[in-house]
Amino acid sequence: MSTQACAVWGEDFTRYDFGVGHPMSPVRLDLTARLCRELGVFDEVELVDVDVADDDQLATVHDRDYIEAVRAASADPAAADGRWGIGTEDVPAFADMHDSSARVVAGSVECARRVWTGAKEHAVNFTGGLHHAMRDRAAGFCVYNDAAAAIRWLLDNGAKRVAYVDVDVHHGDGVEAAFYDDPRVLTVSVHESGRTLFPGTGWPGDHGGTGAQGSAVNVALPPGVTDGPWLRAITSVAVPLVRAFEPEVLVTQHGCDTHRDDPLAHMALSVDAQRQAAVNLHRLAHETTDGRWLALGGGGYAVASVVPRTWTHLTAIAAHHPVPALTETPPDWRERVRRLSGQEPPERMGDLPEEDLPIWVQPWAMGYNPHSSVDRAIMAAREAVFPFHGLDVWFD
């Protein structure tokens, strides 16, 4: 089949499962794949299933001792003592932990390979975006950092500049840390401030290490941010920086825990705004990287009502067959939502009524409002890094 995009999927991805009661239920991936299939989105992409990444692949972004510890905890989950961030409340050990985490890495690396070689224009791995994993430590439901591994693969295979934009509600700390001192990688994280949310980092002043100043970007938003202001943060920080950076590949992380229904964070977005962010970042890839775009999933704990819709939109946008927000959800999918989650399924692919679309986003050029806490967060990010890129903090 001749499609310009691919998407990673296989039933084995649902084996990334921390157990009953953990927020990151694999139901979120199952319901996403089902929705993609029933809306015909999977007919418009090449589906890619992968094996487990080998240790050499993992070791491009993780210490060998840590990989061994993950393996040991998988062999004997009860023995994990929390020393490597495993066996904790956030990252309980489970038998399939090494394999299922390494499979996610293989998926994102394969996406990177297909985009870099030109086999595909866009690639989606909504099972990935596990951005909190550190070189030597699991954190925040993340064991291996597939986003960092994909970027590392690109650099190791000739890419000179890669931009990473992370719109998950949490700071993309693991990816930022992996490339903090590397001027070839621009990381931009738009998140709820560490004052009110895990992992408690991601301040505007953290803007890259020696020799890489301006290559790490943090927009620390206050809680309660709504659609328009959130999109304004992306369009007035991430977009001009990616343009100025002139990357060869754009990697994006689409954690959808910014939604108003998400149980772990405190933002107030709709699925429509998350969809719009994907539309904007897709457009940005065509504008800046000749279309080379790798899109990842991430957080999202409203596993039935939000995650499947947002990542189906993401996949459909990458497939160049976007699903209109007013589309009704398929009856068979609704039935599966009721059965797996016990919740009443959403009836449409968006949340907003027709009269509220499209979402109004005030351009930065229309003025900075110092009384707005969102604008102050945007301005703090712009002031911290724009001068390194020759950009003006007041105007675009």
Least Å distance, CB 393 to Zn ion, is 28
Only one of the segments 23-31, 167-175, 193-201, 221-229 lies at the binding site for Zn ion (rule: CB under 5 A); that segment is 167-175
In the complex with Zn ion, the residue whose CB is nearer, 174 or 255, is 255
In the complex with Zn ion, the residue whose CB is nearer, 24 or 67, is 24
**Stretch 262-301 residues interacting with Zn ion (CB under 5 A):** 299
Least Å distance, CB 79 to Zn ion, is 28
- Give the orientation angle of helix 27-38 with respect to helix 331-341, to 10 degrees: 170
For residues 383 and 360, the answer to whether their CB atoms sit within 8 Å is: no
Least Å distance, CB 193 to Zn ion, is 14
For residues 211 and 183, the answer to whether their CB atoms sit within 8 Å is: yes
Only one of the segments 14-22, 60-68, 168-176, 232-240 lies at the binding site for Zn ion (rule: CB under 5 A); that segment is 168-176
**Stretch 105-124 residues interacting with Zn ion (CB under 5 A):** none
Only one of the segments 101-109, 169-177, 337-345, 375-383 lies at the binding site for Zn ion (rule: CB under 5 A); that segment is 169-177
Is beta strand 5-8 parallel, antiparallel or unpaired with respect to 293-296?
Answer: unpaired
Strand ranges for the chain from DSSP E: 5-8, 46-48, 122-125, 162-166, 185-192, 216-221, 249-253, 293-296
In the complex with Zn ion, the residue whose CB is nearer, 257 or 351, is 257
Neighbour count for residue 368 (Cβ, 10 Å): 16
For residues 296 and 8, the answer to whether their CB atoms sit within 8 Å is: no
Least Å distance, CB 131 to Zn ion, is 8
* Phi, psi dihedrals of residue 191, rounded to the nearest 5°: -150, 170
Helix (H, G, I), strand (E, B), or coil: what is residue 318?
Answer: helix
For residues 307 and 253, the answer to whether their CB atoms sit within 8 Å is: no
Known catalytic residue: 132?
yes
Q: Give the C-alpha separation, 128 to 390, whole Å.
A: 33
Least Å distance, CB 274 to Zn ion, is 13
* Phi, psi dihedrals of residue 224, rounded to the nearest 5°: 85, 10
Dihedral over Cα of 346, 9, 276, 365: its sign:
positive
**Stretch 292-351 residues interacting with Zn ion (CB under 5 A):** 299
Least Å distance, CB 338 to Zn ion, is 26
| Residue among 131, 132, 191, 259 flagged as catalytic | 132
Under rule CB under 5 A, how many of the chain's residues touch Zn ion? Answer: 5
In the complex with Zn ion, the residue whose CB is nearer, 114 or 170, is 170
Q: Does 168 contact Zn ion by CB under 5 A?
A: yes
Using Cβ positions, the residue closest to Zn ion within the complex turns out to be 299
In the complex with Zn ion, the residue whose CB is nearer, 69 or 104, is 104
Q: Binding marks (x or -) toward Zn ion, 227..266, rule CB under 5 A?
A: ----------------------------x-x---------
In the complex with Zn ion, the residue whose CB is nearer, 98 or 120, is 120
Residues 6+ positions from 192 with CB-CB distance below 8 Å: 169, 170, 220, 221, 222, 223, 225, 258, 265, 266, 267
Known catalytic residues?
132
**List of residues contacting Zn ion (CB under 5 A):** 168, 170, 255, 257, 299
